[in-house]
């Protein structure tokens, strides 16, 4: 799959990792369809990227909005070749905290709803649209990239909900690849480590330095550009399928 001429749908595309993918697509001669909340920076990003970017306000917990957004993406961009699920939330709460308060069930449910069910809802509709594509190299019709996390592999204290949602995406990777192989649709997952995104906004320099020090090499935070470059690699190398790739500078999180 070539970037030039391709159409990518990106959830959470209004900024951060998803925004990096949107920029990569447009700068490489493709089209980016940004799905994000109305309150995100999606409209501004799409305007800055020009006519090959489209912003569709979408809440990934609303199945009706998702179905309409995918339909609109196909109507206005002509097709969908790539789907990147980068929308997500990361609330923190211990199962029982030091004050004896139990983990709120609604927080767990909301996290699963956004990070897991929302991603699956988007990819199922995107995959249906991809089945209508004319097959390209190796008979490929599309690529789905889900965004997990190092926490999905090595959960930290206070991350029960986040770890469950992101770990499930890792577990689904091979299953989805096998399920969609008949249509020539590949499925890959990225497990980012510590990335320089809006999630880290507001932390002080001392804490930032500590986070950087967790990286074995290179000693820097990951960037949306790093993430987008990996997505581009997935697009261009069709033999990559059914695998979760860590993007974390060899970081392994301790307890």
In the chain, what's the furthest Cα-to-Cα distance? 58
Tell me the CB-side half-sphere exposure of residue 64, using CA atoms within 13 A: 0
Tokens coding 66: 């998702």
> Phi then psi for 252, rounded to 5 degrees?
-130, 120
**Cα separation, 102 vs 234, whole angstroms:** 41
Tokens coding 11: 């959830």
Which residues are catalytically annotated?
162
Number of Cβ within 10 Å of residue 94's Cβ equals 14
Nearest in space to 230 (alpha carbons), one of 145, 116, 169: 145
Burial of 229 (C-beta count, 10 Å sphere; 0-12/13-18/19+): middle
DSSP 144: E
Tokens coding 165: 């949602």
**Number of residues that make up the chain:** 255
Q: Which residues pair with 244 in a beta bridge?
A: 189
CB 124 within 8 A of CB 174: no
CA 123, 64, 107, 208: dihedral to nearest 10 degrees? Answer: 50
Nearest in space to 81 (alpha carbons), one of 120, 149, 132, 151: 132
């Amino acid at each position: 799959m070539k970037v030039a001429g391709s159409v990518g749908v990106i959830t959470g595309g209004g900024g951060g990792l998803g925004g990096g993918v949107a920029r990569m697509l447009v700068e490489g001669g493709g089209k980016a369809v940004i799905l994000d909340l109305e309150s995100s920076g999606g409209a501004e990003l799409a305007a800055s990227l020009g006519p090959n970017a489209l912003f569709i306000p979408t809440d990934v917990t609303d199945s009706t909005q998702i179905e309409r957004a995918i339909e609109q993406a196909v109507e206005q961009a002509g097709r969908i070749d790539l789907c990147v699920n980068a929308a997500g939330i990361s609330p923190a709460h211990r199962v029982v905290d030091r004050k004896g308060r139990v983990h709120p069930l609604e927080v767990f449910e909301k996290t699963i709803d956004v990070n897991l069910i929302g991603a699956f809802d988007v990819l199922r509709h995107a995959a249906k649209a991809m089945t209508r594509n004319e097959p390209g190299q190796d008979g490929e019709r599309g690529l789905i990239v889900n965004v997990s996390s190092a926490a999905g592999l090595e959960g930290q204290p206070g991350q029960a909900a986040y770890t469950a949602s992101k770990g499930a995406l890792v577990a689904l990777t091979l299953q989805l690849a096998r399920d969609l192989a008949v249509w020539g649709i590949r499925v890959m997952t990225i497990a980012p480590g510590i990335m320089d995104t809006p999630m880290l906004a507001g932390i002080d320099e001392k804490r930032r330095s500590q986070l950087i020090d967790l990286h074995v090499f290179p000693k820097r935070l990951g960037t949306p550009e790093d993430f987008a470059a990996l997505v581009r690699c997935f697009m261009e190398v069709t033999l990559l399928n059914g695998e979760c790739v860590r993007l974390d500078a060899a970081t392994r999180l301790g307890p």
